[in-house]
Amino acid sequence: MNHSDSINLHEMQRLRELQAYEKTARLAGYRWIAGVDEAGRGPLAGPVVAAACMIPEAVYISGINDSKKLTPKQRKILFETLIAHPQVTCGVGIISHLEIDRINILQATIVAMKQAVEALCQKPDYLLIDGLALSNYCIPNTKIIKGDSKSYMIGAASIIAKETRDKIMEEYHEQWPEYGFNKHKGYGTQMHRNAIKHYGPCPIHRKTFEPVASVCQAFQ
Q: Which of 96, 48, 50, 103 is nearest to 204 (CA)?
A: 96
Count of domains forming the chain: 1
Query: With contact defined as beta carbons under 8 Å apart, do 47 and 97 qualify?
Result: yes
What percent of the chain stands above pLDDT 90?
92
pLDDT confidence of residue 220: 60
pLDDT class for 7, splitting at 50, 70, 90? confident
Question: If DSSP codes are grouped into helix, strand and coil, which group holds residue 95?
Answer: strand
Identify the pLDDT of residue 93: 98
**Residue 43 preceded by cis peptide, ω within 30:** no
Domain residues for the domain of 132 are 4-177
Tell me whether residue 209 is in a domain.
Answer: no
- Model confidence pLDDT, tens digit, residues 20-79: 999 999 999 999 999 999 999 999 999 999 999 999 998 999 999 999 999 999 999 999
122: domain CATH number is: 3.30.420.10
The amino acid present at 114, given as its one-letter code, is K
| Distance in angstroms (rounded) separating the CA atoms of residues 115 and 92 | 7
Tell me the pTM: 0.94
In a domain, 185, yes or no: no
Query: Worst-scoring range by mean pLDDT, 2-16, 74-88, 199-213?
Result: 2-16
Look at 8 and 169; give whichever has higher pLDDT: 169
- Residue 183 within a domain: no
Q: What is the pLDDT of residue 27?
A: 97
Residue 200: helix, strand or coil by DSSP? coil
The pLDDT value given to residue 1: 42
Q: Are 99 and 111 in contact (CB under 8 A)?
A: yes
The pLDDT score that the predictor gives to residue 2 is 45
Contacts of 100 (CB under 8 A, 6+ apart): 47, 48, 108, 206, 208
pLDDT tens by residue, 89-112: 999 999 999 999 999 999 999 999
**Is 42 inside any structural domain?**
yes
Cβ proximity of 162 and 39 under 8 Å: yes
Whether residue 4 has pLDDT greater than 70: no
- Could you give phi then psi for residue 53, rounded to 5 degrees? -140, 135
pLDDT score for 123: 96
Beta bridge partners of 94: 49
DSSP H stretches of helix in the chain: 9-18, 20-27, 72-84, 97-103, 105-118, 152-175, 181-184, 190-199, 212-218
What integer is the mean pLDDT of 3-18? 84
Predicted confidence band of residue 5 (pLDDT cuts 50, 70, 90): low
**Is 187 inside any structural domain?**
no
| HSE-up of residue 21 (Cα within 13 Å, Cβ side) | 25
- 3-state SS, residue 189: coil
| pLDDT at residue 219 in the model | 66
Residue 31 included in any domain: yes
User: What is the pLDDT at residue 217?
Assistant: 80
Percent of all residues in the chain with a pLDDT value above 70, rounded to a whole number: 97
User: Is residue 22 domain-resident?
Assistant: yes
Element (H, E) at 141: strand 141-144
